[in-house]
Amino acid sequence: MARITLQQVAHSYQRHPKDPSDYALKNIDTVWEDGGAYALLGPSGCGKTTMLNIISGLLTPTRGRVLYDDRDVTELPPEQRNIAQVFQFPVLYDTMSVFDNLAFPLRNRGLDPQTIHRRVQEVAEVLDLTADLKKKAAGLSADAKQKISLGRGLVREDVAAILFDEPLTVIDPHLKWHLRRKLKEIHEKLQLTLIYVTHDQVEALTFADKVLVMYEGEMVQMGTPAELFEEPRHKFVGYFIGSPGMNFIPCRLEGNRAVCDGASVVLDEETVRRAQGKEGPFELGIRPMYLEVHDEPGDDRIPVQVRKVEDQGIFRILTVQMASSTLKVRISEERPLPGQEAWIRFPRRWIKLYANGRLVA
């Protein structure tokens, strides 16, 4: 396995790109550490597959360098990079048995039959394919076929990294959860460098130690699931991670206060200091679980109208209207529901300030 570094990588599918909007990837600088389990998360079209193909060598970037450890591989094709890639849909040989499909990448590299047998058995066991090893791939379900594709990715021990491009798309929802756990287990056991592309936050957060969030061709944050939740560095991360996502309220700064539509909130000194000289527009960000809801007016409490209540098992999600801003508030199921008139409070320690979409930090 290897440490993979992207240095100022940008890619445009156009021959003569001019504007930043002509680039599918814009100036990516990042390091994927050896043995890490990473997810690449972002909405459709943000550049995830482009980044993965640049790492594997299917694409040469318009600008920048790709390093495996200290070796520059930017111009090398996939077969010289020693990478395994698993795609959205099964890639296998229908007429071969499951065993032969799994053995294929190893036979290709001239490994001895004993090593091949051991490795195929190991991977088949992890993926619950042992009973199917002698069957022809053609007769198996879509789930089983994709498990074979996963197995073909995992079977080689000498790869620099294994790249997964939304590999569980065709998998039945029940099995999805199970396979995600399996991949995590395999990672812990074999310490492989895994990069897993998805647009599903649950998939990313349950699989990865670190998640790279992409938005419109940019890398907006790389962090642990907890960091992404507690300290979203970009508005998109706040909105995309968490269910429901973070609340954002447009505001202007007056001294140590953020004045929003219908409310004024005191900021901590550090935030006020950091905001000096920053260009707006400014927004307050707060997670639904950190907003307090009260039945009576009081200090720092802001009147709201409760518009909707959604029951989500152990939580309820309130939709409240604060002047022209609509906010979500998460309360526990034990708390009695407020009436239609309620008051909310923004606890200072949970308030984040954003300038032009980026965390003031």
Ligand X SMILES: Nc1ncnc2c1ncn2[C@@H]1O[C@H](COP(=O)(O)OP(=O)(O)OP(=O)(O)O)[C@@H](O)[C@H]1O
* In the complex, minimum distance from the CB of residue 12 to ligand X, in angstroms, rounded to a whole number: 9
d(CA 104, CA 101): 5
Does the footprint of ligand X cover residue 24 (CB under 6 A)?
yes
d(CA 231, CA 227): 5
- Residues contacting ligand X: total by CB under 6 A: 11
H or E element: which one contains 51? helix 48-56
Smallest separation (angstroms) from ligand X to the CB of 107:
32
Q: Does 12 bind ligand X (CB under 6 A)?
A: no
Residue 60 found at the interface with ligand X (CB under 6 A): no
CB of 272 to ligand X, least distance (A): 37
Q: Which of 37, 39, 41, 46 binds ligand X (CB under 6 A)?
A: 46
CB closer to ligand X, 24 vs 148? 24
Interface region with ligand X, contact rule CB under 6 A, candidates 41-49, 101-109, 146-154, 297-305: 41-49
Distance CA 131, CA 59 (A): 38
d(CA 140, CA 136): 8
In the complex, the smallest distance separating the C-beta of residue 45 from ligand X, rounded to whole angstroms, is 4
Q: Cα separation of 188 and 203, whole Å?
A: 17
Can you tell me which of 16, 18, 44, 110 binds ligand X, judged by CB under 6 A?
44
Q: Which of 36, 47, 61, 153 binds ligand X (CB under 6 A)?
A: 47
What's 337's DSSP letter?
P
Taking the complex as a whole, the smallest distance from the CB of residue 23 to ligand X amounts, in Å, to 9
Q: Decide: helix, strand or coil at residue 162.
A: strand
Residue by residue, what is the 3-state secondary structure of 260-324?
ECCEEEECCHHHHHHHCCCCCCEEEEECHHHCEEECCCCCCCEEEEEEEEEECCCEEEEEEEECC
Does 199 bind ligand X (CB under 6 A)? Our answer is yes
Burial profile 286-307: b = 16 or more Cβ within 10 angstroms, e = fewer: bbbbbbebeeeeeeebbebebe
| Residue with smaller CB distance to ligand X, 49 or 193 | 49
Nearer to ligand X, 122 or 166 (CB): 166
Residue 50 interacts with ligand X (CB under 6 A)? yes
Rule CB under 6 A: choose which of 6, 41, 42, 148 binds ligand X.
Answer: 42
Of the residues 20, 21, 29, 45, which one makes contact with ligand X according to CB under 6 A? 45
Length in residues, the chain? 361
| Percentages (nearest 5) of helix, strand, coil residues in the chain | 30, 35, 35
Asked whether position 108 contacts ligand X by CB under 6 A, the answer is: no
Q: What is the three-class DSSP state of 71?
A: strand
Q: How far is the CB of 40 from ligand X (least distance, A)?
A: 8
Cβ distance 214 to 222 under 8 Å?
A: no
Stretch of residues binding ligand X (CB under 6 A), selected from 38-46, 113-121, 224-232, 260-268? 38-46
Does residue 84 belong to the site contacting ligand X (CB under 6 A)? Answer: no
Q: Under the rule (CB under 6 A), what is the footprint of ligand X? A: 13, 24, 42, 44-50, 199
